[in-house]
Amino acid sequence: MKSLVCILLLLETFVLAVLGNNEISQQLRSEDSRQNPPQTDTVRDDASTDGQYCHLYFPDIHAALRELTATVTEQKANIRALETRLSDAEQAAEQQTLLLQELNKKNDEMSNLTQSQVEELRKENRGNAYSPITGVFTAPLRGAYMFRISVYGPASQATPSTVSIIKNGQHVVIAHAHQAGNVVNSSNGAVLLLEVGDVVYVTLLANRRISDSQSNHNTFSGYLLFPLREQ
């Protein structure tokens, strides 16, 4: 835009200068003609010369105007293209900002969930399929379930810490720890296909022991991976 304004100012200056020179020349010739009346041939020569000057000046001005018009048109097209690109970039930046805000919001929600509600999630028992009194989980529907156990106990060469996941009275997997030292811990898990009414629970094997505290080292957890249609 600055270059366009400069071109317009230069053109205006050029036109004014040309017009001014023409007026000065005409005034000088008028004064000279009053003081020294020219002969007929001289007047004709002057008129012819003025016509030549006009033919020289005006085509130059027209050419400059055409060139200036073309330049202005090109500059306007460039400005419109730049405005379009700027608008697209602003929209893209706005969309990215909104997406980042949404991701940060979800991340904050997950962080808050992890920090403030972990105990509630550990104790969650949707549908009351698990009995906290008997420690038995009864499948409410047919599907694939994931179960995990973890054990913690005092280290002892004589008495290991061993628990087992049981499905309908049948052993599935164990979590076993046996070593000398301070404490021992172990974990294990299994995916089970359960029918409605199947039961899953955990047992402590004979001559084994575990210990616990308010930190809940020993856990039994599970969840439905996906349901299956009834056969």
| pLDDT tens-digit series, residues 28-44 | 556 555 555 555 444 44
Residue ranges of alpha helices (H) inside the chain are: 2-35, 40-116, 118-122
Q: How far apart are CA 53 and CA 51, in angstroms?
A: 5
Whether 119 maps to a domain, the answer reads: no
Residue 207 lies in a domain: yes
Strands 183-194 and 170-177: unpaired
27/56 same-domain check: yes
| Domain total in the chain | 2
In-domain check, residue 57: yes
**Backbone dihedral angles phi then psi of residue 146, each to the nearest 5 degrees:** -110, 130
Q: Are 160 and 178 in contact (CB under 8 A)?
A: yes
Q: How confident is the model at residue 169 (pLDDT cuts 50, 70, 90)?
A: very high
Residue whose C-alpha is closest to residue 157's, from 180, 133, 134: 180
Q: Which one of 63, 87, 113 terminates a domain?
A: 113
135 with 108, same domain? no
Q: Does the pLDDT of residue 162 top 80, yes or no?
A: yes
6 against 157, higher pLDDT: 157
Same domain, yes or no: 96 and 151: no
DSSP string, 192-222: EEE-TT-EEEEEEPTT------TT--SEEEE
Determine the Cα angle at 37 with ends 31 and 42, to 5°.
100
Task: Write out the residue range of the structural domain in which residue 177 sits.
Answer: 130-227
Residue 78 sits in the same domain as residue 142: no
CATH number at residue 186: 2.60.120.40
Please state, in angstroms and as integers, the Cα–Cα distance from residue 6 to each residue in 2, 3, 58, 80, 116, following that order: 6, 5, 22, 20, 66
CA separation (Å) from 161 to 100, 176, 182?
A: 48, 6, 13
CA-wise closest residue to 185 among 212, 147, 146, 223: 212
This model's pTM is above 0.85: no
> pLDDT tens for residues 67-123?
888 888 888 889 999 999 998 899 888 888 887 777 677 666 555 544 444 444 445
pLDDT tier for residue 56 given thresholds of 50, 70 and 90: very low
Residues 189, 148: contact at Cβ < 8 Å? yes
Residues 146 and 66 in one domain: no
Q: Is 151 a domain residue? A: yes
Q: Determine the length of the chain.
A: 231
Do 223 and 142 fall into the same domain? yes
- Same domain for 44 and 100? yes
pLDDT above 70 for 14: no
Q: Which of 190, 181, 183 is nearest to 210 (CA)?
A: 183
pLDDT band at residue 167 using 50, 70 and 90 as cut-offs? very high
Same domain, 96 and 164: no
Would you say residue 123 lies in a domain? no
- Domain membership of residue 216 (yes or no) is yes
Indicate whether 140 and 99 sit together in one domain: no
Q: Based on the domain organization, do 151 and 107 belong to the same domain?
A: no
Structural domain contains residue 121: no
Q: Assess contact for 140 and 196: CB atoms under 8 A.
A: yes
Last residue of a domain, one of 78, 113, 148: 113
pLDDT in the model for residue 37: 53
User: Quick one: 13 and 105 in the same domain?
Assistant: yes
**Residue that is last in its domain, among 56, 86, 113:** 113
Q: How many other CB atoms are found less than 10 A from the CB of residue 141? A: 14
